[in-house]
Amino acid sequence: MKSNTSLLILTFLLFIFTSCSSQPQPFVTGQDDCHVCKMGLVDFKYGGEIITNKGKVYKFDDMRCMISFIKSNSLEEKEISKTLTMNFNKPNEFLDVKKAWFAVSADLRSPMGSNAAGFGSKSEAENVLKDKTGQIFRWADLLERSK
């Protein structure tokens, strides 16, 4: 009986600590929808996530949807643990938006039309735009541009 109680306590503690995790959750086709536009997540190159301090994950299929959610003030800034963009070159790998570089080009054709893709370095963003018309932004500039 004592081992059953210990196992129950251990399971409960494991559940508590994993349910409050502030780690990104990989996108799953056919299972995940964008929190704003409700479209199924299919093209993982353009998405992003907002993770709250309590571990709730909001998924977005496009930077336009994520920025719209941020500007709606549905969450206070102090409630947000992480704001992440998908790494365009490595779908389902996330980057902190404040460290990412964003290439914006009509040639990228993101799901909701922001046409913004996140990259881990400026040179990666420049490389994607080398034969396209577009611009490179940091997160603050992308937010400002999306008024």
**Is 17 part of a structural domain of the chain?**
no
**Is 6 part of a structural domain of the chain?**
no
For residue 2, what pLDDT is reported? 54
pLDDT band at 101 (very low <50, low <70, confident <90, very high): very high
Mean pLDDT of 67-83: 94
Percent of the chain at pLDDT > 70 equals: 85
- Overall domain count for the chain: 1
Q: Which domain holds residue 46?
A: 23-145
pLDDT band at 6 (very low <50, low <70, confident <90, very high): low
**Is 1 part of a structural domain of the chain?**
no
For residue 16, what pLDDT is reported? 47
pLDDT, tens digit (0-9, with 9 covering 90-100), for 7-47:
445 444 444 444 555 889 999 988 999 999 999 988 889 99
3-state secondary structure the chain: CHHHHHHHHHHHHHHHHHHCCCCCCCCCCCCCECCCCCCECCCHHHCEEEEECCCCEEEECCHHHHHHHHHCCCCCHHHEEEEEEEECCCCCCEEECCCCEEEECCCCCCCCCCCEEEECCHHHHHHHHCCCCCEEECHHHHHHHCC
Tell which wins on pLDDT, 11 or 60. Answer: 60
For residue 18, what pLDDT is reported? 46
pLDDT band at 5 (very low <50, low <70, confident <90, very high): low
For residue 91, what pLDDT is reported? 84
For residue 103, what pLDDT is reported? 97
For residue 49, what pLDDT is reported? 97
**Is 11 part of a structural domain of the chain?**
no
**Is 4 part of a structural domain of the chain?**
no
For residue 14, what pLDDT is reported? 45
- pTM for the model stands at 0.82
**Is 37 part of a structural domain of the chain?**
yes
For residue 147, what pLDDT is reported? 66
**Is 119 part of a structural domain of the chain?**
yes
